Amino acid sequence: MRILLIEDDQKLCEALRFQLEKEHHQIEICHDGRDGLDLFLQDAYDLVLLDRMLPTMNGLLVLQKARKAGIATPVLMITALGELYDRVEGLDNGADDYLIKPFAYEELSARIRSLGRRSGAWEPHDTFSFGDITYAGDLRELSGPGGSLLLSGREGRLLEVFLQNPNTVLRRMVILSRVWGADAEVEEGNLDTYIHFLRKRLRQVKSLLYLKTIRGIGYSLEDSHVF
């Protein structure tokens, strides 16, 4: 899973990074509320671990603003504020789960797995290959000539759609339906954002594949080796 950790305790962050990376998660860390909100709003993560007491903007306000912007990424609040009122307030404002400090890492790990199952982030997938890349859907790992990296759930689903239909022009509405769901209320601009993310991932693994824009229609995954 791609996890965003918004927490100002740097020692805790490094301890969690070590443990989570051992479990093959990809972690991005932010120590500040406002900067954390900017990352949250990118909608590029499978899970957000959110502290409640943060500099510049408290975690509850970060959560409120993200939910108001339509970001549905699961959120696990981790905080020292453990009174019943605090837990209810966090859940009522959009948190999916609430973990009180101090906590055992084993409990955090179990809650992450639970949220991953609920959101579909850990659904089993096949392995796909095309051109110079391989994508292992169960791990959400993209491999190419320049190495490997993990994709977010949404990036992975988008890549799978293209890998199932290489060298094929896919219409925008078809892609939106397959990646977000036929009944999902999603702005078309979200697709452009994730196309940008996916192009970046392909560059990072030094792939020669490219996502070609078919103006006014959609996109096609093509191999620059083929002419």
Determine the Cα–Cα distance for residues 78 and 107; give it in Å rounded to an integer: 12
Q: Give pLDDT tens digits for 152-181.
A: 888 988 999 999 889 999 999 888 888 876
Cβ proximity of 41 and 71 under 8 Å:
yes
Q: Give pLDDT tens digits for 30-68.
A: 999 999 999 998 888 889 999 989 999 999 999 999 988
Cβ proximity of 219 and 212 under 8 Å:
yes
Q: Say whether pLDDT at 146 is over 90.
A: yes
CA 179 to chain centre: 13
Mean pLDDT of 18-33: 88
For β-strands 75-79 and 97-100, DSSP reports them as parallel
pLDDT of residue 227: 46
pLDDT of residue 185: 66
Give the residue, 96 or 126, on which the prediction is more confident: 96
Cβ proximity of 149 and 201 under 8 Å:
yes
Quickly state the pLDDT bin for 14 (edges 50, 70, 90). Answer: very high
pLDDT of residue 149: 93
Mean pLDDT of the chain: 86
Determine the Cα–Cα distance for residues 139 and 28; give it in Å rounded to an integer: 18
Cβ proximity of 169 and 217 under 8 Å:
yes
pLDDT of residue 124: 47
Supply 103's token pair: 């906590």
Quickly state the pLDDT bin for 199 (edges 50, 70, 90). Answer: very high
The percentage of the chain sitting over the pLDDT mark of 90, rounded to a whole number, equals: 45
pLDDT of residue 123: 52
Q: Say whether pLDDT at 186 is over 50.
A: yes
Quickly state the pLDDT bin for 8 (edges 50, 70, 90). Answer: very high
Report the range of poorest mean pLDDT among 10-14, 39-43, 124-128, 143-147: 124-128
Mean pLDDT of 210-216: 92
